[in-house]
Structure 1
Amino acid sequence: MNSILNPLEDLKKTLSFSTFTSSKKKRPKTGLAPGSIIYTGKVYSEKIEIEVIDFTADRIQEVSILDMEDLHQYVKSDSVTWINVQGLHDVELISNIGSIMGVHDLTLEDIVDPQQRPKVEEYEDYAFIALKMINFNETKRRIEVQQVSVVMAKNFVICFQERPGDVFDDVRKRLRNSKGRARQRGCDYLGYMLLDIIIDYYYETLDGVYNQIERLEELVIRKPERVEMLQIQALKKDLIQLRKHMKPVRDALLTLLTRDTGIFTSNTLLYLRDSHDHVEQVLENLDTYREMISDVMDIYLSQLSNKMNEVMKVLTLIATIFIPLTFVAGIYGMNFEHMPELGWELSYPYGFYSIIGAITLTMIIYMKTKRWF
């Protein structure tokens, strides 16, 4: 995060979610039969890309799939296969992948729904995990969210992404590097690595949110007039949306830990338990940041109130000083024929202004003594 150089310009870049819009919600699947495969999101690329990383402890192969028939060789292979699908808008292609790899229509229905709540479902031959991939974009100063669905079988893992671009580069590097456990374990460990890297980026996202809150808090204290209520409210809304996406992940991991899915071995469950602990920490931090943004809101309102009080204080002092002066001026402005000072040549410069000055000085000394200013 950059330091506060141009506060007003920085705050115009308040956090916003790339997938959250103010448009009206629509339910395009209302009334349809269960298992109807209909894509309900945006189209981010013209063509869906399918990448395959097939590996054993001794070798690794990376290919791009152009013909769906090439997927048949990975259904019951002896190696571990990671199939990464980028794009969900071509429902016919997604349906073909599901048919070849033995994925149920209900699972495919959830896969092509970007608004699907994070969850875990067990089937006879595989486990289905849906969750959100969340990443803080430093360049655009915004949080990017996309749907990620993971299908884990005995010998393959299919990862469906809403659009190109992900956080799995570190996993790819670990697979290409023959050292370590990445290629020594099976599909369950590969699935764990994908889940763990997604959860790790939750930390990165919250760090970006924390920095935004700190900048906003500092600016509210220094120059509250440069902050708008909508900016604080937008950040607060983003934190609520983050919790909406992150909290179900804890329940999903707990399901994997407590149920015997037959996919994860006891050794991998140990690592998965660590990921569950990380999600707990993320949620604790998220609750803390929600309290922080509420405190920023309170500070902002307090600063505005204090500023208004200072203005009213100055206006009140001025009005209080001028009340007796107005009274004296009113007396001398009356059209009486007989007034004691009218026959004195210096009555106006000495008499009138002396009274005015004496009253003003007396009131200022009195107010200063009372510490009104």
Structure 2
Amino acid sequence: MSSLLTKAPMSLQDLISHKAAHEVLSEDQLSPMDRHETAGTCIFYNEAGLDQIDFHSISELPTHPAEKNQWIHWRNPNYSDETLSLFEKFQFHALISEDIINPDSRVKIEELEDSIFVATKIPINTADGLEISMEHFCLVLKKDTLLTFSEAPDSLLADILRRLNSPKRRIRKSGPDYLFWAILDAIADYNTLFVSTLADHIDTLEDDLIQADSALTLSSIHASRRRITQFHRLTQPCRDIASRLTRSDSDLLTDSSSLFFRDLFDHTAQTVEATEHLREQAKNLHELYYTTTSYHMNQVMKVLTAVSAIFLPLTFLAGIYGMNFEYMPELNQPAGYPTFMAILLAVALSLAFFFKRKNWF
């Protein structure tokens, strides 16, 4: 039976440290196998050992050993009998159950007497790259147990599982509250990576705008602004969640984990600040588009004006010699026509040379 550990995708930490870490998850990268291989995975762990069991139904869920911590990861929660049985087994409040199943529920945190519930979103690029798809991700922290519910692919948790598999790591020696922080921190790091890709895209658009031969359209700028706005709606409540956890007096959070939640707040606050800067940059990009468009139009109008100015005296002279008076000079001269054409050419070249020296075109 396959497991999360045997998939061996590039870990989130590797994505952040690797030079090629400019790509984030997109819909075309999501495989149905990522979501439906098994219903969930149960991990029992402590400093002495780790046991991992993949299961297809609640009936296969093993008994929780009293001496170990428990992490249950449930994939793609929906209105199924299995999901509802899991809620009943762990005595979830009806409102929490509804927020877990509903993929459109907002990002939030709820502190109850026996649990802490966090609902968040994982930003994933749509296949066309014009919008962001928000994948639902929920965490429920109970005594000695952490439950996660996710629509996102398991690769997001690969680094957490790698650390859990190492007996020397802090995560194996700590309780579920540390695992709770580690997953939220992994999501915060992913959001930092995501905002970095948005910033790179805005910089590319800005470079393209200042090029006269750019094929950039206004729709591209609107699409970028829409993506940044979507992401900003996610980052602000994530910061509020981290802030709430730093002030929590819940017995489920130990004193040793408080420092890590303050660090989580710093990460989320930095992401919010970066996103707000991007919103301002995208707004300026919109103004820059109209400025550069006006500039290019002015360049065209300047050339057309210069051409009109060159032909203005030529039109004046041609108009004079086009009058049908009987006794006009030069009409009976054999060299009159070529002389007149030479005068027109001399006037045109003189004006063109003058405008060129003035850099008017």
Say whether the fold is shared (TM-score over 0.5): yes
Letter of the 1:68 counterpart? I
8 Å CA contact 1:81, 1:157 repeated in 2: yes
Q: 2:49 aligns with which of 48, 59, 62?
A: 59
For the 8 Å contact 2:123–2:134, the answer to whether it is kept is: yes
Shift, 1:290, TM fit: 2.0
Partner of 1:183: 172
Identify if the C-alpha distance between structure 1 residues 249 and 256 changes in structure 2 by more than 3 Å, giving closer, same or farther. Answer: same
String of CA shifts for 1:246-296, please: whole Å, max 9, x gaps.
Answer: 110111121222131221011101111100011111111111222222333
1:222 to 211, 217, 222: 211
The AA in structure 2 aligned to 1:298 is E
Structure 2 Cα separation of the partners of residues 215 and 60 of structure 1: 46
Q: Secondary structure at the match of 1:359?
A: helix
Q: Deviations over 1:340-359 (max 9, x none)?
A: 21221111111x12432343
- Whether the 8 Å CA contact 2:70–2:145 is kept in 1: the answer is yes
Contact 2:25 2:124 (C-alpha < 8 Å) held by counterparts: no
- In structure 2, the CA distance between the partners of 1:116 and 1:17, relative to structure 1 (3 Å rule), is farther
Q: Is the 8 A contact 1:196 1:275 kept in 2?
A: yes
Q: TM-score, normalization: structure 1?
A: 0.81
Q: Secondary structure at the match of 2:72?
A: strand
Q: Determine if contact 1:72/1:101 at 8 Å carries over to the other structure.
A: no
The match for 1:91 is 80
Q: Which amino acid aligns with 1:348?
A: Y
Q: 1:80 aligns with which of 46, 66, 69?
A: 69
Structure 1, residues 59-83: CA drift from partner, whole Å, max 9, x if none? 1100012341344723x83311110
Q: Distance in 1 between matches of 2:49 and 2:196?
A: 37
Whether the aligned pair in 1 keeps the contact of 2:192 and 2:271 (CA below 8 Å) is yes
How far does residue 95 in structure 1 lie from its aligned partner after superposition?
1.1
- Map of 1:103 onto structure 2: 92
Taking a change above 3 Å as real, the CA distance of residues 16 and 85 of structure 1, as seen in their structure-2 partners, is closer
Partner of 1:211: 200
Deviation at 1:168, TM superposition (A): 0.9
For the residues of structure 1 that align with 2:213 and 2:319, how far apart are their CA atoms? 43
Q: 1:291 to 1:371 in 2, by over 3 A?
A: same
Separation (CA, whole Å) in 2 of partners of 1:135 and 1:77: 38
Q: Does 1:122 align with 2:111?
A: yes
CA RMSD of aligned residues (A): 2.8
Aligned pair in 2 of structure 1 residues 141, 176: CA closer, same or farther (>3 Å)? Answer: farther
Match of 1:232 in 2: 221
2:158 paired residue number = 169
Judged with a 3 Å threshold, the aligned counterparts in structure 2 of structure 1 residues 16 and 277 are, in CA distance, closer, same or farther, namely closer
Aligned to 1:289: 278
Change (3 A) 1:326 1:137: closer
1:265 equivalenced with 2:290 (yes/no):
no
> Is contact 2:130-2:223 (8 Å) kept?
no
Q: Distance in 2 between matches of 1:141 and 1:233?
A: 9
In structure 2, C-alpha distance between the alignment counterparts of 1:301 and 1:269, rounded to whole Å? 49
Q: Is 1:91–1:112's contact at 8 Å kept on the other side of the alignment? A: no
The CA deviation at 1:324 is: 1.9
Equivalent position of 2:288 in the other structure: 299
Cα deviation, 1:204-254, whole Å, max 9, x if unaligned, reads 111211221222222222255311111111111111111101110111121
Q: Distance in 2 between matches of 1:124 and 1:218?
A: 53
The aligned amino acid for 2:66 is S
In 1: Cα distance, 2:235 partner to 2:214 partner: 34
In the TM superposition, residue 322 of structure 1 has moved relative to its aligned partner by 1.0
Runs of 4+ in 1 over 6 A off after TM superposition: none
- Residue of 78, 102, 107 corresponding to 1:113: 102
Alpha-carbon distance between aligned partners in 1 of 2:157 and 2:185, rounded to the nearest angstrom? 10
Quote how far apart the aligned CAs of 1:117 are: 1.5
- Label 1:369 to 1:159 Cα distance change in 2 as closer, same or farther (>3 A): closer
State the one-letter code of the partner of 2:191. Y
Match for residue 14 of structure 2?
none
Q: Tell me the SS of whatever aligns to 1:343.
A: coil
Query: Aligned in 2, Cα 1:184/1:366: closer, same or farther, shift over 3 Å?
Result: closer
Deviation readout 1:6-64 (Å, 9 max, x if unpaired) = xxxxxxxxx99859xxxxxxxxxxxxxxxxxxxxxxxx956762101111210110001
Work out the CA distance in 1 between the residues paired with 2:25 and 2:311: 52
Aligned match of 1:359: 347
Residue ranges of structure 1 left out of the alignment (5+ in a row): 1-14, 20-43
Unaligned runs of 5+ in 2: 1-23, 29-33
Corresponding residue for 1:341?
Answer: 330
TM-score (norm 2): 0.84
Q: For residues 191 and 226 of structure 1, what CA distance do their matches in structure 2 show?
A: 47
Contact 1:135 1:202 in 2 (8 A): no
